[in-house]
Amino acid sequence: MSLDLRPALSAPELLADPVAEAVAALDPEIAARIRVAPIDATLADTAAFCEAYGVTLEASANCIVVAGKRADTVTYAACVVLATTRADVNGAVRKLLGARKISFAPMDEATALTGMEYGGITPIGLPSDWRVLVDSRVLAVDAAIVGAGIRGAKIELAGSVLASLPGVEVIDDLAKPLPQE
């Protein structure tokens, strides 16, 4: 299978509502550089998607939602890392959020707060008070593939476009390389 990419602005049905609204609100030059493709929703998980659609792990990015706690305050953030890495949640991410304790946000919280489907959460269209932390390695990717807010589609955009999105913070060593098999 191959990806049938089209401009995201012309295919809002392939985006979760908050994602479609966020793309439409972007500078038109930036929005024009974001493409979307329908996929088999049963293949949305990274490894299955990459194998089925011929996308390398080096071009695939994951967006994870974390919840940092300090006293009675919970802070949510999204972390975008390449599929060849793992977010340094207990190190870099915890420190950046100033949290004493940090964990992956439970699925029901993540979906309720983002308006997106689990397995399709993307850094575009997240709540405006969230930090969006992007590992600097993602910037080197010319055509990064990430969720579209729904499991039945993927977004393609250059790492440089991702870095230019509102609220994005590029962080060196936000992730650690996965061990080689």
- Taking residues 25-49, report their average pLDDT: 95
Cβ proximity of 133 and 84 under 8 Å: no
pLDDT digits (tens, 9 = 90+) for 53-105: 999 999 999 999 999 999 999 999 999 999 999 999 999 999 999 999 999 99
pTM for this one?
0.94
Q: What is the pLDDT of residues 150-177, one digit of tens each?
A: 999 999 999 999 999 989 999 999 999 9
Among the listed residues 132, 135, 2, 147, the one whose alpha carbon sits nearest the alpha carbon of residue 77: 132
Give the pLDDT mean for 110-137: 96
Label residue 75 left, alpha or beta by phi (over 0 means left) and psi (-120 to 50 means alpha): beta
For 6-171, CATH number? 3.90.960.10
| Contact (Cβ atoms closer than 8 angstroms) between residue 70 and residue 122 | no
Residue 1 has pLDDT above 90, yes or no: no
* Residue 56 near residue 170, CB atoms below 8 Å: no
Per-residue model confidence as pLDDT tens digits over 19-34 = 999 999 999 999 999 9
